[in-house]
Copies of this chain bind each other. A is one copy, B any other.
Amino acid sequence: MSNRDSCIVKHFRHYHPLSDGDRQLLGALEKSPLEVKAGDSLWEERDPAQDFFTLSQGWAFSYRQLEDGARQILEVYLPGDVIGLREYAFHQRLTGVQMIEDGTICRFPHARLTDIFQQSTTLTSILFAMASRQQVLLTERLVNLSRRSARQKLAHFIMEMYERLAKTAGRQEDHSIRLPLSQEMLADVLGLSPVHVSRTFSALDEEGLLHRNRHRLLLPDPAALADAGQFDERYLADSVFAANDAVG
C-alpha cells in the first residue's frame, strides 16, 4: 500500500485487492525495476523463455518477423500490462518484444510462478484473468485483420487504444489521445502497407472522424468512429469482477 510497492504489486492491485501475504509474495519474486530506452529489445524470437515482465512505464509491442521480411505486430502493451504470458508453456520465445518509448520494466522469473500457484489463489486467479484477457484481445485483433477493410481496421484499432487508455490513463476532455506509433508500426499492426495507412488516415480525416497532429489524435465523435470500425467494446469489459466472483 505504501509507495514502496513495486510496479508489479501496483498492477496486480489494480485487478484485485491483495493481502499482505500476496504483496510480499509478489515483491519477493521480482527483481529490481529496469530502465529501458525506446527501440530496446526485451527479447527476440528463439531466445530462451524464462521470465515475464510487467511494464511500469512506456509502451511496448510484441511481433513476429516473417521469412519475406514482413513484420506482424501482435500486441501493443501499455503501462501496467504483463508481457510474456504467451510463452509459459514453451522453452523458446516465439515472438520478439520491443520498447516503443523509454520506460521501466520489472522482471518476473518464469520458473517461480509455481510459488504463486502454491501460495495464493488470489494471485493465481489474477494471472489467469490476465491470460484470458490477452487471448480475447488477440481474438479481436485477428477478426480485425482478417475480415475488415483498411478503414475499419484503422478506426477499430484507434478505438481500442482510446478505450484502453481511458482505463489506465483517464479520458481527455477533448477526446484526444497520444498514440506514439509511427505509420509504419500501424501498418505492421493492421496488416497494411504504410502507404495505405497514410491514405486511410487522410480519408478518415476528410470525413471528420479523426484529426491528426503528429502523435496526437483528436476524435471529434468517438461514437461515429466506433461505428465506422464496427467497434464493440464488450471485449474490453473489465475482467476483474468475473475473476473476483470466482474467488469470492
B-binding residues in A (CB < 8 A)? 49, 64, 66-67, 70, 72, 74, 85-92, 94-95, 110-111, 113-114, 117-118, 121, 124-125, 127-136, 138-139, 141-143, 145-148, 191, 230, 234-235, 237, 239-243, 245-247
Residue of B nearest to A191 (CB): B146
Candidate in A67, A86, A143, A245 with the most chain B CB atoms within 10 angstroms: A143
Q: For A234, list chain B residues within 8 Å (CB).
A: 92, 94
Q: Are B86 and A135 in contact (CB under 8 A)?
A: yes
Q: For A128, list chain B residues within 8 Å (CB).
A: 88-89, 113, 117, 127-128, 131
The copy count of this chain in the complex is 2
Q: For A66, list chain B residues within 8 Å (CB).
A: 143, 147-148, 230
Q: Are B88 and A132 in contact (CB under 8 A)?
A: yes
Known: A74-B143, A87-B132, A94-B136. 10 other contacts (CB 8 A): A64-B143, A74-B139, A85-B132, A90-B237, A90-B239, A90-B242, A92-B234, A113-B128, A117-B117, A117-B124
**Known contacts A90-B242, A113-B246, A117-B124, A135 near B143 by CB under 8 Å:** no
Q: Are A138 and B136 in contact (CB under 8 A)?
A: no
Q: Are A91 and B132 in contact (CB under 8 A)?
A: no
In the complex, 19 of the A-B residue pairs with CB atoms within 8 angstroms, ordered by the A residue number, are A66-B143, A66-B147, A70-B147, A74-B139, A86-B139, A88-B243, A89-B240, A89-B242, A89-B243, A91-B242, A92-B234, A111-B246, A114-B246, A117-B117, A117-B128, A128-B128, A135-B135, A138-B139, A147-B191
Residue of B nearest to A49 (CB): B242
Contact of A245 among B70, B111, B139 (CB under 8 A): B111
A82–B129 alpha-carbon span in the complex (Å) = 17
Q: For A92, list chain B residues within 8 Å (CB).
A: 234, 237
Closest approach, in angstroms, between the C-beta of A223 and any C-beta of chain B? 15
A70–B148 alpha-carbon span in the complex (Å) = 10
Q: Are B117 and A121 in contact (CB under 8 A)?
A: yes
Q: Are B124 and A230 in contact (CB under 8 A)?
A: no
Q: Are A90 and B143 in contact (CB under 8 A)?
A: no
Q: Are A135 and B191 in contact (CB under 8 A)?
A: no
